[in-house]
Structure 1
Amino acid sequence: MLDQKDAQSIDAAKLYYNSGFSQAEVAHHLGVSRPTVSKLLSHASARGFVTISIADPREQSDELVGQLRQRFALADVRVTTTPPGGSPLADLGSAGAALLEELIEDGTSVGLSWGETMSAVASHLRRQPREGVEIVQLKGGHSHTERSTKDFYTLQAFSHAFNAEAHLLPLPGIFDSAEAKQWVERDRHIGQILHKGASVSVAVFTVGSAEQESLAFNLGYLTAAEKQQIEDKAVGDVCSRFFDARGEVACPAVDARTVGISLADLATRPTRVLVAGGASKARAIWVALRKGLATHLVTDQATARKLVDWASEASHKC
């Protein structure tokens, strides 16, 4: 239900963005002050009445795109370029959202992981006229600490954008024991959500780095000894499944306590969109691509160059 401020903010946005009026001209037409126009435009943006999309042709036409598609047998690649002072995470989110708006059609079942990158993607989604879309959380996201996984926000934003039914997995990502996890998974409702997650047609996920600063290390799931073991053996994680340099499970005891889609089930999904970038995640992205976990990739330019260089080095060794 729109209130008077909502309606006035929409009028201001139409005059400013569609008609090309200055804020002073908008103020004159609406009979308000210029500072009020600025506040109305901010309100329109916060309420989702205004969305701004920037089409950067470099994301799809860069030479790196072709090299990555060929070397990792990817269906599509988007490589972001961030200007000085810009936000690499925001650019990844924007490019990821643009790709998903192309991929998600009526009747699509979409599986989501969580984290800062996924939240950035969610925040850049625009409303799409879709029907019959389902959004399923691929792994538990409840945190035992003050650090947030932003799982609920991500699920809610995707559902809002695609007019979709949402299926939340209200559990921690990693249980204290394998027995507790097994008991919970016997619940009919939880079992149905896990089955839906393992059967989605489009899986959207990121990777995490296996280091003390990573989000997965700071949610209260792991003991100090387990963190050290993972740091020693793993290069990263996908959906809280930690893997080593060969793409194999790095810590079976922790994996047995992890709730959500397995790497094996993820690899069978028809469309698998990996959105990730940054130096700390480069090695994990490399292993995930070599393991065949992704069909689509969104990453930044510096990471893309590393991936191409490593792929070239690997091919020369063969």
Structure 2
Amino acid sequence: MNTEDRIYQEALSVATMYYYQGLTTEAIAREMNFSRPKVSRLLSHARSSGMVEIKIVNVQKALSPLERQIRDTFGLDAVHIVPAPELMGEVVWLERVARYTANYLNSVLSSGDILAIAWGTTISEIASNLIPHRVPELRVVQLNGSGNTFTPDNRYAANILHHFAQNYEANVMLFPVPTFFDYRETKAAMWQERSVKRIIDLQQNASVLLYSIGSVNAGVPSHVYSTGYLDPEDMEELEREQVIGDLATVFFREDGSWEDIPLNSRASGPPLSLYRKVKRAICVVSGRNKVPGLRAALKARLMSELILDEPTARLLCRSGDCGDLET
């Protein structure tokens, strides 16, 4: 038996004793003649490899007051607030939200679904925390292009999509176009190509959207703003148009308007009307500076589900947008 097979069998035995037989790690270590740290490592391996799937069932469907208030105020189907200590900082907030989302997706995706993904910092963190789970006939499609003239290496978005496809044993459909076209006429012509129209059709028929709010001033910087996708003239335009955030590199203002922002005519992301059409539009947000964009997206009803950390949720409601809330 090679090393990989041996570790698999040991992890399977330890997981069976721990989860099915209710033995403690100390009892398993004694029975298997292992050290307790080795038992802990094998249990961690069993969870991360997908051998063990942990499902928390909220049998009473109970929401915290903060979750209920956000859900009811903005007319959402679901709100998930992830506990995180405020003092730990935004990197830890994002890590916890990403781990929660990675687990949650395993209960959301079904056979035959189309999962449309907007690449970026938050989605990259989720991809790094995915737990292997086969979903038959799942298709994963990229929501916005990732090519640009400033960064020759175009693997960032592709790697994120491939993580998801490999994790779920799904087919992946990349979107091989620039993030932003130089000319709107070029985009209009490209959108007539059959190969591009095929991707757009998949986006428009997605079962699940997974995305975050882009923010130029986020504590954990949004990838599109921090790696040269926008030139100085573009940034000046966004400031002039009073842009507050973006979804899949399509920009919007505080009042939710977006169609008359010039840069959007050259952007490769889908129209924001798509987020109102798809039944399960899951927005994942973490960080103080994403709150203004999140607030605008919520008021414009650009999501059906929201996953965020507790400090960000409290900042969202501190402005009074969530009504009177006893916390």
Q: Same fold (TM over 0.5)?
A: yes
Given the alignment of the two structures, is residue 248 of structure 1 paired with residue 257 of structure 2, yes or no? yes
Gaps of 5+ in 1: none
1:231 to 230, 235, 239: 239
Which residue of the other structure, out of 268, 282, 297, is the alignment partner of 1:259?
A: 268
Deviations 1:158-195 (A, max 9, x none): 22333322111122211222233233323211121012
Confirm or deny that 1:125 pairs with 2:130.
yes
- Contact 1:175–1:221 (8 Å) recurs in 2: no
2:207 is aligned with 1:201: yes
Whole-angstrom CA distance in 1 between matches of 2:217 and 2:153: 16
Structure 1 residue 108 and structure 2 residue 113: aligned? yes
* Conservation of the 8 A alpha-carbon contact between 1:96 and 1:121: yes
* Cα distance in 2 between the residues matched to 1:80 and 1:43: 21
2:165 maps to 1:159: yes
Q: Aligned partners of 2:206 and 2:222: how far apart in 1?
A: 27
2:75 to 73, 76, 80: 73
Any conservation in 2 of the 1:273–1:296 contact (CA below 8 Å)?
Answer: yes
* Separation in structure 1 between the aligned mates of residue 62 and residue 314 of structure 2, nearest angstrom: 15
Q: Which amino acid is 1:192 matched to?
A: R
> Which position in structure 2 is the counterpart of 1:48?
49
Is the contact between residue 181 and residue 187 of structure 2 (CA under 8 Å) also seen in structure 1?
A: yes
Tell me how far apart the structure 1 counterparts of residues 253 and 100 of structure 2 sit (CA, whole Å). 28
> Conserved in 2, the CA contact under 8 Å of 1:210 and 1:236?
yes
> Deviations along 1:101-128, whole A, 9 cap, x unmatched?
2322122111110112112222333233
Corresponding residue SS for 1:175:
coil
Alignment correspondent of 2:316:
307
Distance in 2 between residues matched to 1:224 and 1:101, nearest whole Å: 41
Question: C-alpha separation between the residues in 2 aligned to 1:177 and 1:45?
Answer: 50
Which of the numbers 4, 9, 12 marks the counterpart of 2:2? 4
Task: Give the letter for the 2:169 counterpart.
Answer: N
Identity %: 23
Distance 1:133 1:278 in 2: 31
SS at match of 2:166: helix
Structure 1 stretch displaced more, 287-296 or 131-140: 131-140
| Alpha-carbon distance between aligned partners in 1 of 2:155 and 2:47, rounded to the nearest angstrom | 22
Letter matched to residue 5 of structure 2: A
Q: Per the alignment, do residues 147 and 247 of structure 1 end up closer, same or farther by CA in structure 2, a change over 3 Å counting?
A: farther
2:188 counterpart residue number: 182
Equivalent residue runs for 1:274-293 within 5 Å: 274-293=283-302
Task: Please give the secondary structure, in 2, of the residue aligned with 1:200.
Answer: coil
- The amino acid of 2:118's aligned partner reads S
The separation in 2 between residues aligned to 1:222 and 1:69, in whole angstroms, is: 34
Q: Number of paired residues?
A: 309
1:148, 1:274 → 2: CA distance? Answer: 24
- Give the C-alpha shift of residue 288 in structure 1: 0.5
Change (3 A) 1:215 1:12: same
Q: Contact conserved, 1:110 with 1:200, CA < 8 A, in 2?
A: yes
Deviation at 1:311, TM superposition (A): 4.9
Q: Distance in 1 between matches of 2:290 and 2:44?
A: 36
Q: Deviations over 1:105-154 (max 9, x none)?
A: 12211111011211222233323342222111111123532787832232
Residues 96/60 of structure 1: CA separation in 2 closer, same or farther (3 Å cut): farther
Equivalent residue, structure 1, for 2:95: 90
**Gap change, CA 1:148 and 1:236, over 3 Å in 2:** farther
**1:221-273 deviations in whole A, cap 9, x for unaligned?**
32212212313511111110111111112873211111131112232112110
Question: What is the RMSD computed on CA atoms of the aligned residues?
Answer: 3.6
Give, in whole Å, the separation in 2 of the partners of 1:260 and 1:121: 20
SS of 2:266's equivalent in the other structure is: coil
Name stretches of at least 5 consecutive residues in structure 2 with no aligned partner.
19-24
Counterpart residue number, 2:142: 137
Aligned with 2:224: secondary structure?
Answer: helix
TM-score (norm 1): 0.82
**Distance in structure 2 (CA, Å) of the matches to 1:190 and 1:257:** 15
* Pairwise CA distance, 1:282: 0.4
Larger displacement relative to structure 2 (274-283 or 243-252): 243-252
Q: Greater shift after overlay, 183-192 or 297-306?
A: 183-192
Match of 2:225 in 1: 217
Q: Say if 1:145 and 1:255 are closer, same or farther in 2 by CA, change over 3 A.
A: same
In the TM superposition, residue 209 of structure 1 has moved relative to its aligned partner by 0.8
CA positional deviation for 1:290 = 0.5
